[in-house]
Amino acid sequence: MFADRAKIYVRSGKGGDGHVSFRREKYVPNGGPDGGDGGRGGSVILEVDEGLNTLTKYRHAHHYYAEHGENGGKRNCHGKNGQDIVLKVPEGTVVKEAVSGKVITDMSGDNRRVVLLTGGRGGNGNQHYATSTMQAPKYAQPGQPAKELELILELKVIADVGLVGFPNVGKSTFLSRVTNARPKIANYHFTTLNPNLGVVDLGDEKGFVIADIPGLIEGASEGVGLGHEFLRHIERTKVIIHIVDAPGVEGRDPVSDIYTINKELEAYNQEIAKRPQVIAANKIDCIYDKENNPVEAIQKEFEPKGIKVFPISAVTGEGVKELLYYVRELLDTLDDEVVVFEQEYFPEFNGLSNEPFTIEYDTQHEEYVVEGPRIEKMLGYTNLESEKGFAFFQKFLKDTGILEQLEAAGIEEGDTVRMYGLSFNYYK
């Protein structure tokens, strides 16, 4: 069974707790603290697997857990780090947060491996808290908690060209003729369920990837029939080929079909409807009345709108070569980059927005001091030296209201802000 959508729950590993113990040996009556640190919890990692083309695995198993870090031990023994869990997905998988539907990551293009949830950091053992005034600390740091997420995985096929059309207009036959794909073909009055991918080889010319998208029925943009399962696969395609039953062998009106498909595309996503289109008027081998050629009616309707119409026969191959070379020319005018969906949801930020924080002005050092558990957690897993990490840091300050409260406290440009050892100057 083909599966292009799945809902799963993932959880990273909790960090191991730091240990409280003291060195107790013969001849060492007053040994110091020797509690070891807890191990790091395992992370949840997504990785593209070139050998996968479905999400079937995730339709049967829904819960995935990374390993917890072990607690620290006496004699400075460090707890074992938890094992990461790596989830293999096909290229083109878009990962969304289940409740909001916002994109977390798109496993496409150069994005081959993503740490989705980092494991909790292990807590420090009591050996770290010894001071000149407290030589026997009875406190150790607990490990950071695990992080969890409920995800929607959606496979959006990556193809240069998408074939669209109502059921039984000849899309599968066309794909089997022009590519190495071998879809199941029969005269059934229902649609292909699987998006079949194939590579068009034009000899010395540059080839391209083409996909027979699952057949469309009216109301698809509202979820009727295959609905969104059809439409999500066309979001990445750069050129759309409408295949229609030109002579109306199945009793359909080709002109009406094209308008219906475009209406569904526009209702789902206006950007998709604006992409270059070509019409393949199929089954011309079944046209016997040459004086009332239905292809001419299609050309008269759509070519003035800038949509080229090619009369073809997917069965005999007539007209197919001309269509493919025209599509190749269209692709050459477009950007080669894969359509990648931008990140809208940041798992690292999840759960921090409701925790308290304080803002005070330190008159001695002339600094604004921001403290609180959410600040400590955020700084614990954010790499501020990376561009992405610093962008997240800025978003965190804005979305949690910290910047707003600093301004309410009277901060001005150039003033210093301190957060757990990190100091920076404030600028709008």
Report the first-to-last Cα separation within the chain, whole angstroms.
54
Mean pLDDT on 311-331: 89
pLDDT at 2: 45
Is residue 38 within 8 A of residue 69, CB to CB? The reply is yes
Grade residue 191 by pLDDT with cuts at 50, 70 and 90: very low
What are the CA-CA distances from residue 176 to residues 157, 172, 179, 200, 327 (Å)? Answer: 18, 6, 6, 10, 17
pLDDT at 381: 54
Dist. CA 250–CA 214, nearest whole Å? 18
Give 117-180 as a DSSP string. Answer: EPPPPPPPPGGGG--SS-SS----PPPPPP-EEEEEEEE----SEEEE-STTSSHHHHHHHHSS
pLDDT at 178: 81
Name the residue with higher pLDDT: 102 or 192.
102
Name the residue with higher pLDDT: 268 or 58.
58
Give 243-274 as a DSSP string. Answer: EEETT-TTS--HHHHHHHHHHHHHHH-HHHHT
Name the residue with higher pLDDT: 29 or 266.
266
Q: At what angle do helices 294-302 and 254-268 cross, to 10 degrees?
A: 40
Name the residue with higher pLDDT: 419 or 29.
419
Mean pLDDT on 254-265: 87
Grade residue 364 by pLDDT with cuts at 50, 70 and 90: confident
Structure tokens at 122: 């292990």
Mean pLDDT on 265-276: 82
Indicate whether 33 pLDDT > 50. yes
Is residue 67 within 8 A of residue 83, CB to CB? The reply is yes
55-59, 180-184, 323-327, 388-392 — which one is most confidently predicted on average?
323-327
Indicate whether 184 pLDDT > 50. no
Name the residue with higher pLDDT: 181 or 202.
202
Mean pLDDT on 337-366: 73
The pTM of the full predicted model, rounded to 2 decimals, is 0.63
Indicate whether 214 pLDDT > 90. no
Grade residue 382 by pLDDT with cuts at 50, 70 and 90: low
pLDDT at 133: 72
Lowest mean per-residue pLDDT among 175-184, 251-260, 293-302: 175-184
73-77, 212-216, 223-227, 248-252 — which one is most confidently predicted on average?
73-77
Beta strand 358-362 pairing with 367-371: antiparallel
Indicate whether 141 pLDDT > 90. no
Indicate whether 278 pLDDT > 60. yes
Dist. CA 232–CA 177, nearest whole Å? 25
Name the residue with higher pLDDT: 235 or 8.
8
Indicate whether 272 pLDDT > 90. no
Indicate whether 353 pLDDT > 70. no
Mean pLDDT on 262-279: 84
Name the residue with higher pLDDT: 238 or 384.
238
Helix, strand, coil share (%) of the chain residues, nearest 5: 25, 20, 50
Grade residue 350 by pLDDT with cuts at 50, 70 and 90: low
Looking at the chain, the whole-number percentage of residues with pLDDT higher than 90 is 22
Q: Average pLDDT over the chain, rounded to whole?
A: 80
Beta strand 93-97 pairing with 113-117: unpaired
- Contact residues for 48 (Cβ-Cβ < 8 A; gap 6+): 88, 89, 90, 91, 93, 107, 111, 112, 113
pLDDT at 186: 39
Phi, psi of 403 (to 5 degrees): -60, -40
Dist. CA 296–CA 308, nearest whole Å? 12
H or E element in which residue 298 lies: helix 294-302
